[in-house]
Structure 1
């Protein structure tokens, strides 16, 4: 290991312009220590006791993200870490482990504090290092906040897309099987040589039944009882097809409907005709389910497009605030259902368009709603109310949850960067800071009112900046 010298400290970019006598003072008031590979210099949560100068070797830097500890960079010779003058950072938010034999000079806090009163150039260099570190940490954490939010949205969206996609695949397979059997059914019914008038009457009565507008809503028990009733009736006619009974319940048939249809064809033709009816109704049901599933996928894709606003430029435009709120709720739908949260949307019908950046505002809605869902998790359920209204020349969006509330002693700090009430790894403390910065960018305001059982965020956005 080389010796700690003024020349070596001069190689540190922030210290390159510091006078030699001030660097010599650092050497005289510091202590050099060697680190072996695998040793830890800082652990997450450690209180800083000194300013550290990495003279030789390398350290790997890790940060906690979610439930994992991930590497975010390598510290090389010339790095200044630990305590820095005028910094509010008193504890380490990273884990630092030696990966190459290292030499570190540490200067105790009390000596650094003395230096701030004695040496302007040295203090200036250390403060510049602090500002650079804060800028780097903020950028890193903002990127992580966005990726963390994107990860949660992606997981929910993947789940939401998987259900209709699986339904399409399952129904397509069933439809293919039915279509393969159509020639057989056609042969059976064609060979019956049914009277044309009878078939016309059968088709007419069938459409009257299917097209009824007031089909009853049945509970699971009622559906099961109906299916058993239809199965018994079909078996009495020599038709053993439980799946057919399920389809009849789905389409709102009654026993009286079946008897009226059964009275039309000759007795010898009843089983083949009802077999055809089973295939016809099942095919129609499958086509309808595929249509509904594909519409759901299209709706989700549309929500993603609206949420990201990928089809608009970077300038503010007059937008419908409701569209962004609805897209955000769609994106968070999986989390909302999982948390057993009821959404109450009290939207003003005459809400005017507001000049804004839609994609930026969607980040605001996402951060506030996501926090509200997390807050209500302690109850195992919740009610999230979203109210919109016009107030003078502003659009006001109020988002209220019935969670436990935010204690008065911390309510003034929740918009501060890096302040979070969540456990380590579950939040970065930047969500509401992002909300505040975006709303200020729109020349609006965001306020909080909280009490046990009711927390409301009031977001005020000018309709027009002018």
Structure 2
């Protein structure tokens, strides 16, 4: 005790303006304990019955995420942790472990009423510490919430970008293979003897097939049957590589009637060379179309990211179309929707009036509501988004046919840090952030839930 007297404590910031007799009361009433490195001051779930003042050393606080403890913050000499006067903390949310040899002055909460009488000044200091701690913790958890949401969106976006990118790689590789064969095929074509009229007639068939979008609408059974018929026909005409050509021709929508027409035009001459050129032209067209479609999909995803993040526009309030934000958010969450095979119904009112909003903030609202709905849905579930104008307000509905929210939980879902998700899956700030953002927009949110039908309704004033 001699090492930690009134003079020692009054050197610490929290006691700088506290009368000596008040500090002495704390020393007399509290308990000093010494912790070796690795020893726990408190563990997760342990009742929070003590206020702890670090006299020397350091306590590292860790929070559990996905079954493992991750470092959160350090409490050092002169800092306070544990329960504080007027705090509603009942149990430790994490664990506090001594990083070095540490000594702690601990005061049981049963002495708080006496502390209020003995030293209102110290209570005021401690309440200030508690306020700062709540603010800092909330800010940290809000950042964690954003990072968790960003992680989900990034994983889905990476998957969505990978599919068209892989398609471009495959198609361009095949296109390169075809291109490398061009000199040999060109030499064979140059030795053919065909009239301009024959060339025009074959080209007309080719252009007609291309104009039909190069798609075969046959069932798998009918397609296989036609491939077999075309293979047999090609073999009868002594056309080599019949299996490879048949697959391309059928996929492009070419029929036996088309092939017979080409044979008639050529009078049976040069048929293998012309059909090889014909099939390669169709295949090249298809590969180019695949590359274009994949590149377009990548462009759409990039535009969705720009719309979602509002990255190419200012940060001020502006008139905005709610439908753009809803659609871009769905695009960002496409991977999660596909994973669970969720049906999405979009029922948007035409000519919906715009609202004035911070677009980036609104997209946080849609992400939280839609992502929560996806988590609540079983595989094959249904998500419904709808918009309507009602008088001077615009209403957005996000509904799902999941298990519903229990009645005893429903009135708490907008409380900060309240979550029903497993540890590491949510911070309990998603709907709290939604509520704060909507208040920022003079908007409101309400929820109704029963098994098979959970409905969130968000109302905005018309711009």
TM over 0.5: yes
Give the structure 2 partner of residue 462 of structure 1: 461
Give the structure 1 partner of residue 287 of structure 2: 286
Confirm or deny that 1:116 pairs with 2:116.
Answer: yes
SS at match of 1:389: strand
Distance 1:181 1:81 in 2: 75
Cα deviations by residue, 1:100-149 (Å, 9 ceiling, x for unpaired): 11001111111124323443112112111111110111011000000110
Per-residue deviation, 1:311? 1.7
CA separation of 1:67 and 1:303: change in aligned 2, threshold 3 A: farther
Distance 2:141 2:7 in 1: 35
Q: Is the 8 A contact 1:156 1:333 kept in 2?
A: yes
Give the structure 1 partner of residue 355 of structure 2: 354
CA separation of 1:250 and 1:2: change in aligned 2, threshold 3 A: farther
Confirm or deny that 1:5 pairs with 2:8.
Answer: no
- TM-score, normalised to structure 1, is 0.95
SS at match of 1:434: helix
Give the structure 2 partner of residue 141 of structure 1: 141
Q: Is the 8 A contact 1:4 1:32 kept in 2?
A: no
List structure 1 runs of 4+ shifted beyond 4 angstroms: 213-216
Give the structure 1 partner of residue 387 of structure 2: 388
Give the structure 1 partner of residue 451 of structure 2: 452
Give the structure 2 partner of residue 326 of structure 1: 327
Per-residue deviation, 1:72? 2.6
Give the structure 2 partner of residue 245 of structure 1: 246
What is the aligned residue count?
A: 462
Q: Which moved more, 1:158-167 or 1:228-237?
A: 228-237
Confirm or deny that 1:172 pairs with 2:172.
Answer: yes
Distance 2:25 2:328 in 1: 60
Q: Which runs of 5+ in 2 are unaligned?
A: none
Per-residue deviation, 1:233? 2.9
Per-residue deviation, 1:280? 0.6
Give the structure 2 partner of residue 87 of structure 1: 87
CA separation of 1:220 and 1:366: change in aligned 2, threshold 3 A: farther
Distance 2:308 2:430 in 1: 17
Give the structure 2 partner of residue 129 of structure 1: 129
Per-residue deviation, 1:267? 2.5
Give runs of aligned pairs for residues 54-453 of structure 1, distance below 5 A: 54-66=54-66, 68-212=68-212, 217-238=217-238, 239-376=240-377, 379-453=378-452
Cα deviations by residue, 1:410-456 (Å, 9 ceiling, x for unpaired): 21110111111111111000000110011110001011011111001
Give the structure 1 partner of residue 30 of structure 2: 30
Give the structure 1 partner of residue 51 of structure 2: 51
CA separation of 1:51 and 1:229: change in aligned 2, threshold 3 A: farther
CA separation of 1:401 and 1:5: change in aligned 2, threshold 3 A: same
Distance 2:276 2:66 in 1: 56
Q: Is the 8 A contact 1:40 1:96 kept in 2?
A: yes
Per-residue deviation, 1:336? 0.8
Q: Is the 8 A contact 1:400 1:454 kept in 2?
A: yes
Q: Which moved more, 1:380-389 or 1:215-224?
A: 215-224
SS at match of 2:72: strand
Per-residue deviation, 1:12? 3.1
Q: Is the 8 A contact 2:320 2:356 kept in 1?
A: yes
Per-residue deviation, 1:213? 6.9
Distance 1:236 1:11 in 2: 102
Q: Is the 8 A contact 1:420 1:429 kept in 2?
A: yes
Distance 1:319 1:161 in 2: 27
Q: Which runs of 5+ in 1 are unaligned?
A: none
Q: Is the 8 A contact 1:209 1:257 kept in 2?
A: no
Distance 2:236 2:162 in 1: 41
SS at match of 2:449: strand
Per-residue deviation, 1:219? 3.9
Per-residue deviation, 1:53? 0.9
Distance 1:114 1:336 in 2: 57
